[in-house]
Structure 1
Amino acid sequence: MPITYDSQKRIFKLDTKTSTYALLVYRENYLVHLYYGAKLPDDNLASLMYRGRFDSLSPYNPKVEDELFSPDINPLEYSTNGAGDFRISACSVRGENGDTVTDLRYVSHRILPGKPKLPGLPATFAGEDEAQTLELETVDSVTGVRAFLLYTVFEEYGVITRSVRFENRGSAPVVLERAYSACVDFPGMDFDMVHLYGRWAKENSTARHPLQHGIQSIQSKRGMAGPNHNPFVALARNGCTEETGEAYGFNLIYSGNFAIDIETDTRGCSRLLMGINPTDFRWKLSPEESFTTPEAVLVYSDAGMGGMSRTFHKFYLNHLMRSEWAKKKRPLLINSWEAAYFDFDDDKLAAFAGEAQKLGIEMLVMDDGWFGNRCDDHRALGDWAVNEQKLKGGLQSLIQRVNALGVKFGIWYEPEMINPDSDLYRAHPDWAVCARGRDKSISRYQCVLDMTREDVRDNIFRQMYDVISKNNIEYIKWDCNRHISEAASLQLPPDRQGEFFHRYVLGVYDLMDRITTAFPHILLENCSSGGGRFDAGMLYYSPQIWASDNTDAIERLTIQFGASLCYPIASLGAHVSANPRTSLKTRGNVAMCGTFGYELDPVKLTEEERALVRRQVADYHKYYDLIRYGDFYRLTSPTDNPFFCEWEFVSEDKTEALTTLVVMRQPEHVFHIQYLRGLDPDRLYREEETGEVYSGALLMHAGLNLSCVSWESPDGDSLVRHFTAV
């Protein structure tokens, strides 16, 4: 059994195929963290709780009768505020007395088959035979608040997920001021912190730096995850490389304000917290009410950062991405945005579709500009009615023309936004997010709709349903092009304004759930000015997310490599655009490390370019399963190497491999060896283009000498090689 409880030692042990997580119910029912790391057969782990003798500045509970135990020193399983632990805390509850002293103690536990759903939140899922869940009930005896700590063990994946459900069993309202999803203590600081940062058109840059004494944190308070920081962090043990050493990955399944905090104390021990950002968060919990935190995903790898990433990839494909399109073959699409922007009509789009069909492209996506009086980005957001002056004969006529060519049809929406110059705003100015008495900030000529309000969500849903239900729409691009300022809702009372940000995210999830439930066969792709909302919460609803508005192939290397630390290649929205910096060949090879598609005007392609596009389309189908379901290896990172970027896909049965090399810029030397990974060393592999046969051992340990290729290749060139087992 993956979850066991030793009633004599009072130790819980959570085992996956690669890892063990252990905790102890200590004296006076303190929950103490013992261990998280490589799998252990032992259960005599209680001594791991000690961190040495505490000093006179650390309070202790005399009832415990242990001179080595203090809440300020020992690794508490779910740290609380004001009860003797002075490190960063996971939980803080303000009770009716006005103080925030919180002291959660163990009451009972249950071990359940499968995994319960989290109400109103995206979360991982499992059948009763695929996972097991531990529910630890704890209580604060003064306020009556109970916290149920939930741990689900996915034994076959090396994954543990965590969340917390708070229930007010007291007689008076309380306010949650900190409600993190996970708290993990480590007996050391010999780690590098790895995380993703960026901005618009420069998302998912990778940062790696050693832990320092003090508090290190990445956060968002933008109302959404945003491109600046991603709700993912890894702790890489000193010496951990791409394929060797220990790595711990932490990802929050949440699309709102988050915080990941790591404190290294004076003893050199480290605590990681992950959850809702406590800045601007206050949740009033009346008697008998409950609150559930988003889910945190924990991955342990003893096969380096690459092993950690491949675990996330497989796990999310099978246990987070609920859309039928997670495993169903997706159509190869072309998007109209970079080809036409707002300047299109039905004839131009039909012409796009006709040219695309000749190239083997299977879907046309009509981007921004099809609704209301939307001739530019200054107006009409919120007015989701078809502009029949632009689309003569209406949307149905256009779709019929496109479908008659054998091409599917998709459409763009930005459901959460509103322009002041719109009919919806003129009718309901109070529906735009704004704090009472303050002016509204404008970003990109638009405001944010108050998604905490059911009447707002109902209106947008009805408008979307009216268009989608009457037309053969098979794809939706859901965009979101600004963040939230003056955050408040005119519908919430003053004592609940601190709930606004979380209620906003819950409202977005509700609307997405209603759309995907009403139209389960539609392929939904998320976008937020590119990859500004690339998070696991969105993956629950949409199996692919536009990775960046920057479609330059060289810039995309860093963006896509960074995202791949946690998110599946099958989720990375990547297109071939008309960007002239690199060849069409390289643009295709880079976009193939993602969902693959086109973002250009097919009418303007030369005959030579058309022939290359047809080959790319053929490769899309040829390598579809290998790229989306195979193991991904980052061979040479563009962050670490200024000249080359290389990656590889290997099929699960190790019978097929595909490698790509991009020459970002010519090196001062020409010697270059490419070392493959993940192959069977005892098998022979034939390289498709040359017919040469190599052992897996040679390809991985001696490598392929690509010196001639790197010498002959100009900046921006690329090379793809395909290997199959003999």
Structure 2
Amino acid sequence: MYSINRLLPIYKKYSLSVILIVFMGFISMAQVIPVETNENAVVLEVSKGKDLKMIYWGKRLANSSEYGQIPTQEKQATDYTGLYCSAYTPAGSRNLLEPAIAVSHADGNRSLDLKYIQHEIQHESDNISLLKITLKDKIYPFQVDLFYRSFYNQDVIEQWAVISHQEKKEVVLHKFASANLTLKASDYYLTQYHGDWAKEMQPEESKLTHGIKTIDTKLGTRANLFLPSVFMISLNEPASEDEGTVMYGALEWSGNFKIDMELDPQNNLRIIGGINNYASEYHLPAGEEFKTPSFLTVMSHNGKGEASRKLHQWARDYKLLDGNGNRLTLLNNWEATYFDFNEQKLFSLLKDTKKLGVDLFLLDDGWFGNEYPRNNDDAGLGDWQANKKKLPNGVSSLVKEASNNDVKFGIWIEPEMVNPESNLYHEHPDWVIKQPERDEYYFRNQLVLDLSNPKVQDFVFGVVDDLFVENPDLAYIKWDCNAVIYNAYTAHLKQQQSHLYIDYVEGLYAVLKRVRDKYPTVPMMLCSGGGGRVDYAALQYFTEFWPSDNTDPLERVFMQWEYSYFYPSISMSCHVTDWGKQALKYKVDVAMMGKLGFDIVINELPKEELEFCQEAVKNYNELKDVIWHGDLYRLVDPKLNDFASLMFVNNEKSEAVMFNYLVNNRYDIKSEMPVKLKGLNPEKRYHIKEVNLFPGTQSWLDSSKTYSGDFLMTIGYNPQVQTSRKSVVLAISEEK
């Protein structure tokens, strides 16, 4: 038995080919294959019949040679198939449960029996190892390679499969999961999310019962609109913030997904996740490969908070574009003007951007279209030329004026979409996803362009490229996606209609890769009418995402809280707008929990409110490094309490920021007891200073006192939140 990470010193000394020889020499002995991280282990076992099983997923053992003893201690009900815990369950042979893969061979036979052939390990860095396991059918020349990439320090594992064959004709893939996991516990508690436009990330927790629970989407684009592809599983009992064993799961895919959770006859939880096979049978020619998207997991034995911090660190280091870098604060014109603006009005807003003190002005929807001007949302999409009436001197005049005001300029686009009222629609109807014989059906008065078509990919890339070629100083892109796919049909694929949902997403990624190859550092916001397209495959190309069009700060406290389980604060765009009845201070304080932006009319602000915003931007610039790159600790859950409290702590535990918000306005509601802080050094002493005070007000808190980290984490600190003091932001710093 050999642990991946125990072999790393061998790898460093010898070449990969030598390592593979060593592994092949030990195949007769190495029937147990552990994938170990700092805290955990996923253990695979090769049975006597060469079936590959997942026999353990949990805390790592000190002695990896003992993993093979785990099954001897389990006295579960009979496994009639020998495949209940299969690492990649095939359909059509002796399996009785939900399969991970189902195919029709070239001769029409639909059976599959995958047997272990070999495995090999690559050491990609001091922190990353990649395990590859080859499975083959005994009868047909059909192969599946399973991959497990482990991130040792973060306890994150990514899994995917590569499917190939050498049959005489194409093989049809009916199901093709990315991961087939097995968990063992007494009980399983699922936390999933649901929502709609402006109601994103609504949590639900339930105990899983026997049978199959499915989380899926069939929307094609904007796939997370109703059900996001992220979830948690608590083992034995519901996990809290700091206690309990919990696994986070997420699919790195921006299209249709399906995650099946089956409680099997032995009371094991089988999790099978990947691309949704709905209307997506894939015809695979001989000699070609089908690679599934990655399915990521992270497990913590110390509650949800630790799992979040591990995932955030992994995301910043390995997945999110420039995750450890900087971000631009901005002023957006949308709520100031909507579609009604001209060059002079925008020039005025550019001056307001400088006055406010943020980095960038973002021009939102409505700047394009001439024959079909974009004066509302029913025309113009697809015609990406500046509207001559609104912008007689083009976008370049705005970019130049931004530079004159010492700020940057960004712009909104929705290049995957088209309005029927557009030149593009009339010139290229074959580029549009729609059934040729059926009535068109619109989502927000628009249809989706067919990104399975390389010509459409070239067009969409050209929308971005032309903007940058004409405006080299363009500094930001907001990429929107507001429609789902109705009447799915592609004129490009002709007979292979079942490839559309998959090829669309692959086409999108191809475009985004071209954009990043040419413009690797330009910040881009991933927007989809809110959180309709948020996943780690897309976030490889974007610096941030738009959580929701609902910017009511009270609603955002809850939404951003739930997003924070899976995504770091540096990735969340949070804007101050006119939504909600709360005071401006409350709105600004809530937006400061992520990547700050403003969507208000600056020149209409009273003097005191403008001064407050300007000072808040200065405060944010001093605190944003801790907020973006620090560890997040959720302190008081707004779902269970009258107020919310959370904090960010830097790696050195010398600086922290604590956010506190009242979420219940009933009479005399307040924070009666101190809040126990987390993540500090118990031996250090800290100053606590209230920031973001409104002009003319003084803090209720005594900033002259110092407290030990031990006191703050054992006894706590009361931010004195109440109805007359609904949001409180505290800067915590080590005493020097």
TM-score normalised by L of structure 1? 0.92
C-alpha separation between the residues in 1 aligned to 2:613 and 2:631?
26
Find the counterpart in structure 2 of residue 542 from structure 1.
Answer: 542
Find the counterpart in structure 1 of residue 327 from structure 2.
Answer: 330
Q: Aligned-pair distance for 1:46? A: 2.9
Find the counterpart in structure 2 of residue 271 from structure 1.
Answer: 270
Q: CA contact under 8 A between 2:550 and 2:579: conserved in structure 1?
A: no
Find the counterpart in structure 2 of residue 30 from structure 1.
Answer: 51
Q: CA contact under 8 A between 1:167 and 1:291: conserved in structure 2?
A: yes
- Secondary structure of 2:721's partner? helix
Q: CA contact under 8 A between 2:151 and 2:157: conserved in structure 1?
A: yes
- 1:46 paired with 2:68, answer yes
Percentage of identical aligned residues:
32
C-alpha separation between the residues in 1 aligned to 2:286 and 2:589?
58
Find the counterpart in structure 2 of residue 723 from structure 1.
Answer: 732
Deviations 1:203-259 (A, max 9, x none): 111221112111112111101322211111111121421011211111111101011
- 1:103 paired with 2:104, answer no
Find the counterpart in structure 2 of residue 232 from structure 1.
Answer: 230
Q: Aligned-pair distance for 1:156? A: 1.6
- 1:185 paired with 2:182, answer yes
C-alpha separation between the residues in 2 aligned to 1:12 and 1:418?
50
Q: Which amino acid aligns with 2:544?
A: Q
Alignment match of 2:89 (pick from 64, 68, 79): 79
C-alpha separation between the residues in 1 aligned to 2:503 and 2:417?
16
Deviations 1:503-557 (A, max 9, x none): 0001111111112222223111110111111211221110200111011100001
Q: Aligned-pair distance for 1:563? A: 0.8
Find the counterpart in structure 2 of residue 518 from structure 1.
Answer: 518
- Secondary structure of 2:537's partner? helix
Q: 1:287 to 1:664 in 2, by over 3 A?
A: same
Q: Which amino acid aligns with 2:622?
A: K
- Describe how 1:238-387 pairs up with structure 2 within 5 A: 238-321=237-320, 323=321, 325-372=322-369, 373-387=373-387
Find the counterpart in structure 1 of residue 32 from structure 2.
Answer: 11
Q: 1:580 to 1:134 in 2, by over 3 A?
A: closer
- 1:138 paired with 2:147, answer no
C-alpha separation between the residues in 2 aligned to 1:582 and 1:355?
23
Q: Which amino acid aligns with 1:692?
A: K
- Secondary structure of 2:470's partner? coil
- 1:700 paired with 2:713, answer yes
- Secondary structure of 1:40's partner? coil
Q: CA contact under 8 A between 2:665 and 2:723: conserved in structure 1?
A: no
C-alpha separation between the residues in 2 aligned to 1:713 and 1:266?
56
C-alpha separation between the residues in 1 aligned to 2:231 and 2:110?
29
Deviations 1:111-135 (A, max 9, x none): 1121xxxxxxxxxxxxx34311111
Q: CA contact under 8 A between 2:61 and 2:67: conserved in structure 1?
A: no
- Secondary structure of 1:504's partner? helix
- Describe how 1:662-677 pairs up with structure 2 within 5 A: 662-666=661-665, 670=670, 671-677=672-678
Alignment match of 2:104 (pick from 94, 105, 109): 94
C-alpha separation between the residues in 2 aligned to 1:359 and 1:476?
21
- 1:482 paired with 2:478, answer no
Alignment match of 1:113 (pick from 123, 135, 150): 123
C-alpha separation between the residues in 1 aligned to 2:113 and 2:655?
55
Deviations 1:561-611 (A, max 9, x none): 111111111111110112351111111111011111101111211111110
- Describe how 1:498-647 pairs up with structure 2 within 5 A: 498-641=498-641, 643-647=642-646
Q: Which amino acid aligns with 1:86?
A: L
Find the counterpart in structure 1 of residue 700 from structure 2.
Answer: none
Q: Which amino acid aligns with 2:340?
A: D
- Secondary structure of 2:596's partner? coil
Q: Aligned-pair distance for 1:161? A: 1.0
- Describe how 1:431-442 pairs up with structure 2 within 5 A: 431-442=431-442
- Secondary structure of 1:389's partner? coil
Find the counterpart in structure 1 of residue 653 from structure 2.
Answer: 654
Deviations 1:244-299 (A, max 9, x none): 12111111111010111111123321111111112112111111011000011111
Q: 1:178 to 1:3 in 2, by over 3 A?
A: farther
Q: Which amino acid aligns with 2:5?
A: P
Q: Which amino acid aligns with 2:123?
A: P
Find the counterpart in structure 2 of residue 2 from structure 1.
Answer: 5
Q: Aligned-pair distance for 1:487? A: 1.2
- Secondary structure of 1:469's partner? helix
Q: CA contact under 8 A between 1:3 and 1:13: conserved in structure 2?
A: no
Deviations 1:282-323 (A, max 9, x none): 1111110110000111111122101111111110111012x3
Q: CA contact under 8 A between 2:76 and 2:266: conserved in structure 1?
A: no
- Give the superposed CA RMSD: 1.7
C-alpha separation between the residues in 1 aligned to 2:170 and 2:723?
72
C-alpha separation between the residues in 2 aligned to 1:99 and 1:615?
70
Q: CA contact under 8 A between 2:315 and 2:323: conserved in structure 1?
A: no
Q: 1:59 to 1:304 in 2, by over 3 A?
A: closer
Q: Aligned-pair distance for 1:189? A: 4.6
C-alpha separation between the residues in 2 aligned to 1:177 and 1:52?
35
C-alpha separation between the residues in 2 aligned to 1:182 and 1:580?
42
C-alpha separation between the residues in 2 aligned to 1:441 and 1:229?
22
Q: 1:363 to 1:687 in 2, by over 3 A?
A: same
C-alpha separation between the residues in 2 aligned to 1:145 and 1:352?
61
Q: CA contact under 8 A between 2:380 and 2:421: conserved in structure 1?
A: yes
- 1:165 paired with 2:162, answer yes
Deviations 1:655-683 (A, max 9, x none): 11211110112456642321111111222
Q: 1:440 to 1:239 in 2, by over 3 A?
A: closer
Q: CA contact under 8 A between 1:32 and 1:49: conserved in structure 2?
A: no
Larger deviation, residues 153-162 vs 43-52: 43-52
Q: Aligned-pair distance for 1:481? A: 0.5
Find the counterpart in structure 2 of residue 122 from structure 1.
Answer: none
Q: Which amino acid aligns with 2:245?
A: E
Q: Aligned-pair distance for 1:375? A: 1.2
- Secondary structure of 2:559's partner? helix
Q: Aligned-pair distance for 1:719? A: 0.7
Q: CA contact under 8 A between 2:386 and 2:394: conserved in structure 1?
A: yes
Q: Which amino acid aligns with 1:476?
A: I
C-alpha separation between the residues in 2 aligned to 1:617 and 1:381?
34
C-alpha separation between the residues in 2 aligned to 1:87 and 1:187?
16
- 1:20 paired with 2:29, answer no
Q: Aligned-pair distance for 1:9? A: 4.2
Count, aligned residues: 692
Q: Which amino acid aligns with 1:156?
A: N
C-alpha separation between the residues in 2 aligned to 1:337 and 1:136?
51
TM-score normalised by L of structure 2? 0.91
Q: CA contact under 8 A between 1:250 and 1:296: conserved in structure 2?
A: yes
Q: 1:488 to 1:25 in 2, by over 3 A?
A: same
Q: Which amino acid aligns with 1:710?
A: V
C-alpha separation between the residues in 2 aligned to 1:648 and 1:269?
37
Find the counterpart in structure 2 of residue 710 from structure 1.
Answer: 721
Q: Which amino acid aligns with 2:97?
A: R
C-alpha separation between the residues in 2 aligned to 1:394 and 1:577?
27
C-alpha separation between the residues in 1 aligned to 2:655 and 2:507?
44
Q: Which amino acid aligns with 1:142?
A: I
Q: Which amino acid aligns with 1:462?
A: G
C-alpha separation between the residues in 2 aligned to 1:138 and 1:369?
53
Q: Aligned-pair distance for 1:190? A: 1.6
